[in-house]
Amino acid sequence: MAAFITGMRNFLRMQGASMDRLDKIKVVGEAAGGMVKAHFAASGKLEKIEVSPELQNKEFKVIQELVVTACNDGNQKIMGKVMNEFMTDQQLQQSLSSALQQAASMMKKE
């Protein structure tokens, strides 16, 4: 049981460090050729929305749809960046693998 707890503590500590890394990675989702931009941290935090003044005469519903499209584009970009950043992080993968193996071992004993 102690090994499992140690493994989980190590994983959670690394996960905390990973969240700090995610807050530093920035992505911008776009719609309408960049006339609407949604700025995100890779942790998923929406930091800023930009709407071009060129859209001021458009219907409000159209602008809302463009904002949603830009946010969805940003979310897709987040997933790509996170996959690139962390799937190559062998230390994080090893820590997760170790924690999962220990959890599986503990479940077999119960």
What confidence tens digit (pLDDT) does each residue in 22-37 have?
778 899 999 999 999 9
Burial class (CB in 10 A: 0-12, 13-18, 19+), 91: exposed
What confidence tens digit (pLDDT) does each residue in 57-94 have?
999 999 999 999 999 999 889 888 877 776 666 666 66
What confidence tens digit (pLDDT) does each residue in 1-14 have?
345 445 545 655 65
**pLDDT recorded at residue 4:** 47
**pLDDT recorded at residue 67:** 97
DSSP3 helix / strand / coil % (the chain, rounded to 5): 70, 15, 15
**pLDDT recorded at residue 91:** 61
Torsion over CA: 38, 40, 45, 48 (sign): negative
- Domains of the chain as residue ranges with CATH: 2-109 (3.30.1310.10)
* pTM of the predicted model as reported, rounded to 2 decimal places: 0.65
Cα–Cα dist 53/51, whole Å: 6
Residue 42, Cβ neighbours under 10 Å: how many?
Answer: 22
